[in-house]
């Protein structure tokens, strides 16, 4: 079996252009509008040129979702990695997620639509597992009380998703205020109750 061919700088730039235009198209008109013809028109190239770089529409959508996920994970992960202790990591995750959504509104629609068709992309660890890891660290270090890390991780992500959904429907929602309130609720949920 031969080694896969490495793409040139120009090929990588063209692929990125196609992905960027697909993000715009999905954000403006939804995934149903992201046909190969529409993607090509948005990128200012022929449909054949799109197919030169991607085997199919699904391959374009998979690459688009992978790019958005990688961007989100890198941005939020950087904040979490720089945080001090499990409390700080949890706050960094909550605030980082909402900041990313605010700063990348076109990516939100791609994430909401969940364009994944590639089983390798779909099989990546889910968000709850990453959050559960932070929660388990907090329990192991004695900073957090005993609780089911999976359940609480699902609740935290559910709250984040609800805030983002409301922000999409009502863009006047103040995400900084939402982040502060969610931070307070999350920190109260992980600590022992005091009397």
- What residues does each domain of the chain span? 9-190
In CATH terms, the fold of domain 9-190 is Tetracycline Repressor; domain 2 (1.10.357)
Give the pLDDT of residue 44: 94
* Alpha carbon distances (Å) from 66 to 18, 69, 88: 13, 5, 27
Residue-wise pLDDT tens digits, 102-140: 999 999 888 887 655 545 544 456 788 999 999 999 999
Residues comprising the chain, all counted: 195
Q: How confident is the model at residue 148 (pLDDT cuts 50, 70, 90)?
A: very high
Give the pLDDT of residue 125: 61
Q: How confident is the model at residue 41 (pLDDT cuts 50, 70, 90)?
A: very high
Whether 149 and 135 have beta carbons less than 8 Å apart is answered as yes
pTM: 0.84
**Highest mean pLDDT: which of 7-11, 22-26, 190-194?**
22-26
How far, in Å, CA of 108 to CA of 70, rounded?
A: 13
Q: How confident is the model at residue 159 (pLDDT cuts 50, 70, 90)?
A: very high
């Amino acid at each position: 079996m031969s080694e896969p061919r490495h793409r040139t700088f120009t090929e990588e730039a063209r692929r990125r252009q196609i992905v960027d235009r697909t993000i715009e198209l999905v954000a403006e008109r939804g995934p149903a509008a992201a046909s190969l013809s529409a993607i090509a028109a948005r990128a200012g190239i022929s449909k054949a040129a799109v197919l030169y770089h991607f085997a199919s529409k699904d391959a374009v959508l998979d690459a688009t979702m992978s790019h958005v996920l990688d961007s989100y994970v890198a941005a939020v992960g950087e904040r979490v990695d720089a945080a001090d202790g499990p409390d700080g990591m949890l706050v960094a995750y909550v605030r980082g997620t909402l900041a990313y959504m605010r700063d990348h509104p076109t990516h939100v629609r791609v994430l909401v639509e969940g364009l994944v068709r590639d089983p390798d992309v779909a099989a990546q660890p889910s968000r709850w597992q990453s959050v559960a890891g932070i929660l388990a660290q907090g329990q192991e270090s004695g900073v957090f009380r005993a609780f089911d890390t999976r359940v609480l991780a699902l609740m935290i992500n559910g709250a984040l998703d609800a805030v983002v959904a409301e922000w999409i429907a009502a863009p006047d929602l103040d995400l900084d205020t939402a982040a502060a309130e969610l931070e307070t609720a999350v920190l109260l949920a992980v600590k022992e109750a005091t009397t």
